[in-house]
Amino acid sequence: MERRKIGSLEVSVVGIGCNNFGWRIDAAGTAAVVDAALAAGINFFDTADIYGAGQSEEYLGRALKGRSGQVVIATKFGMRAGEGNQGARPEYVKRALEASLGRLGVDVIDLYQIHQPDPATPIADTLGALDQAVKAGKVREIGCSNFSAAQLREAENASAGKARFVSVQNQYSLLHREPEQEVLSECARLHQSFLPFFPLLNGLLSGKYRLNSTFPDQSRGKDGFGPKVFTEENLVKAQELAEFAVANGHTLLELAFSWLLMRPEISSVIAGAKNPEQVKANAAAANWKLDGAAMAAVDRIVGTS
């Protein structure tokens, strides 16, 4: 599988989002997904301390025991992880990092990311704590998530002499184009990698949903993600995109992954998986090289041109 850079790290262009671990699948299911990912050439695993109330990190660490040197592990801190466990104050950064290292069972985290901005803490203070973690050899690279272009600029300006963010992880997909307004161009200017989460828009772009059909059991549509995502407008667009993909010998899933990877700012497309079959499908979905005509056709369907 093709690999791209996140700072000094080299990652597969398809990554595994680990939010299902400890929530939708248990330790055995996690191990099966991890094994399938490694077999498919995926080396990038992205988790967070809040996923599965900490069990995502724990199960991922167990599944990768003895193999952490073969992979790139990313995790996040900052969202509420229990009483008093939230934010980006320096003292909390240190505490959250030690907790994640323990659950993952590793000595160093490859990419440590602040999960969301903390308006109560100056970003310079957070970067100072993260810089200390890098210098101590506990973190290789640092990144952020859910940051605006202005917040990226502020962090860059505050990072003089310290470790700097090498990546930003925000929502981006065929049907959620907000990063195109400012964030992607800011990533290009700052030489930061962009990591899209929800590339399949909670499964809407997986190809398993159809207009006026019932949601599959144990799907995000079935589990209450529908009101904001599975609207009639989005379902119509998804169906038109699927028809376009099929007419070109591909699937909607392949279009969703490959379209994102046409952006040079994107290093890896992070998608969750509940079983080895989904892993294999995701891994195989990133090989369509869309030309200018195909990209323009997609924009016409989505309504951006």
Task: Give the start-to-end residue ranges of the domains of the chain.
Answer: 3-204+252-288
Predicted pLDDT at 224: 53
Rounded CA separation 206/202 (Å): 9
CATH class of 3-204+252-288: alpha beta
Predicted pLDDT at 84: 81
Rounded CA separation 59/31 (Å): 8
Predicted pLDDT at 217: 60
In this structure, are residues 48 and 75 in contact, taking their beta carbons and an 8 Å threshold? yes
Rounded CA separation 52/291 (Å): 40
Q: How far is CA 184 from the centre of its chain?
A: 15
Predicted pLDDT at 213: 65
The mean pLDDT values, 10 residues at a time, for the chain of 305 residues are: 97 98 96 98 98 97 93 97 90 98 98 98 98 98 98 97 97 96 98 97 88 62 64 93 97 98 98 96 95 96 84
Cα dihedral 287→236→169→54 (10° resolution): -100
Predicted pLDDT at 45: 98
Extract the tokens encoding 171: 């929502």
- Clarify whether 59 is annotated catalytic: no
The sheet with strand 14-17 has its strands ordered as 193-197, 165-171, 139-145, 109-114, 72-77, 44-46, 14-17, 269-272
Predicted pLDDT at 227: 62
Going by their DSSP bridges, the two strands 193-197 and 44-46 should be labelled as unpaired
Task: List pLDDT tens digits, range 155-180.
Answer: 999 999 999 999 999 999 999 999 99
Question: 110-135 burial, b if ≥16 CB within 10 A, otherwise e?
Answer: bbbbbbbbbeebebebbbbbbbbbbe
